[in-house]
Amino acid sequence: MSVNIVVPEVGESIVDARVAKWLKREGDAVSPGDALVELETDKIDLEVAATHGGVLQRIDHKDGADVKVGDVLGIIAQGAEGAVGAGGADGARAPEAKAQPPAGAPAGQSPKSAEPPGDGKTRATPAARKVAEQKDVDLKTVKGSGDAGRVMRKDVEAASAPMGQPGATAPRAAPTPANAESESGRGRLQPAQAKAPALPPPRPAGERTEERVRMSKRRATIARRLVEVQSTAAMLTTFNEVDMTGVQQIRERHKVPFKERHGINLGMTAFFVKAVIGALRAFPRINAEIQGDEMVLKHYYDIGIAVGASEGLVVPVLRDADQMTFAEIESQTRELARKAEDGTLSLADLKGGTFTITNGGVFGSLMSTPILNPPQVGILGLHAIKERPAAVNGQVVLRPMMYTALTYDHRIVDGSEAVRFLVRVKELIEDPGALLLE
């Protein structure tokens, strides 16, 4: 008896994928729950697991192949047929077949009794495997901190650190949450990509090599969507600057009791999320989208937080952010940062969103024009905090200042609305006590 391994349905918006890497070879014995192949989509990466035991008899789509939902990736042979195949694979013996649904479910949906994999291979996220290859780390020597001992990206990076030892059990610190304070007072929900990249070795004299690298599904989708939004939306950007003194003073006064009570740092994410919601309430068309010749005004606030991941920008969403406390916002943004770093964001984390906040300040940007995240009609760009001279009560003093930028779709958002929206954000940030009234 044979069982097809098919491309699973991941979400209604995902219809195709790319075979990133087969984790098994033809002739390998497999057990229910074994991760068979990694798939790459335009939104998330996932593993397809075996829900039947037997032998991987055939691989129909090799690494790098583009496939669609429902396509057959390969075949698992069961019973006597599988036993024969197993005997040819270094004498491995096929596991006993069990009554299971067809193979091809995402690994996260495999039965608990199937862990760990029967062939001794280490369970790891796609991001962890990629880093392990880059850093030449044997995954079998790394202790996983994920569910059921799954190796995460942070575990591999900890094991490959200069002072780390094989099998290190202490992962590196969690990713910095959004708008966490850094040396210049800036920061946000960005993984460690903010660090300066390592310089390549000097090019030998006379060498003029080139490298052709295929874009990932996510990068190709990002490229297509960026061109589409510039072709379809009437984008315009307006700027302002914000005095961050009030927010910094509140954070300094309350950071210790806040952390003691909630177990997390008080960053700047919650301040800007709350300020944005207050401004959206005053200017509801910036919390809308265009469908045909109609405006869909949304009376809920799902705020996207742009995150720079290794495979490209992703925008996980804080749902019903208006109903969240400061602690809940900080906690959820930290969790989303961790998922982005580990490559474990789900479709539910990325779906929807009514408005987006992004921050180039973590990379040192002083000013930029963010691009819309369609079908949204507004995006707020935050930037580095720098001490600049400012006039206060007739005197020139140094103040921590941040430039802010609002890009909006001029088709339904008037310039006066956009300017007043940004002024409202500025007012709420400069007078944080006013956030309580919102």
Closest Cα to residue 234, out of 413, 410, 374?
410
3-state secondary structure (DSSP) of residue 217: helix
Separation between Cα atoms, residue 123 and residue 191, nearest integer Å: 23
pLDDT tens column, 243-289? 999 999 999 999 999 999 999 999 888 999 999 999 999 999 999 99
What is the predicted pLDDT for the residue at 77? 87
- What are the extents of the domains in the chain? 2-114, 122-172, 217-437
What is the predicted pLDDT for the residue at 162? 63
**Does the domain at residues 2-114 carry the CATH identifier 2.40.50.100?**
yes
Calculate the dihedral angle through the C-alpha atoms of 127, 132, 133, 136, rounding to the nearest 10 degrees: 170
Q: Which residue has the tokens 């905090």?
A: 385
Closest Cα to residue 155, out of 147, 343, 167?
167
Residues in the chain, overall count: 438
User: Which among 63, 138, 414, 431 is annotated as catalytic?
Assistant: 414
What is the predicted pLDDT for the residue at 435? 84
What is the predicted pLDDT for the residue at 164? 44
Which fold does the domain 122-172 belong to in CATH?
Dihydrolipoamide Transferase (4.10.320)
pLDDT tens column, 393-406? 899 999 999 999 99
According to DSSP, residue 371 is labeled P
User: 383 catalytic, yes or no?
Assistant: no
What is the predicted pLDDT for the residue at 80? 56
3-state secondary structure (DSSP) of residue 356: strand
Which fold does the domain 217-437 belong to in CATH?
Chloramphenicol Acetyltransferase (3.30.559)
User: 60 catalytic, yes or no?
Assistant: no
User: Which among 60, 119, 262, 410 is annotated as catalytic?
Assistant: 410
Residues of the chain with pLDDT under 50: 84-102, 108-119, 164-194
Separation between Cα atoms, residue 409 and residue 396, nearest integer Å: 37
Provide the whole-model pTM: 0.69
What is the predicted pLDDT for the residue at 156? 82
Calculate the dihedral angle through the C-alpha atoms of 273, 309, 25, 90, rounding to the nearest 10 degrees: -100
Residue type, 335: E
Q: Which helix (H) or strand (E) holds 385?
A: strand 378-392
Q: How far is CA 144 from CA 69, 81, 148, 164, in A?
A: 30, 35, 8, 15
CA torsion sign for 361, 363, 369, 370 is negative
Q: Which residue has the tokens 């040396």?
A: 183
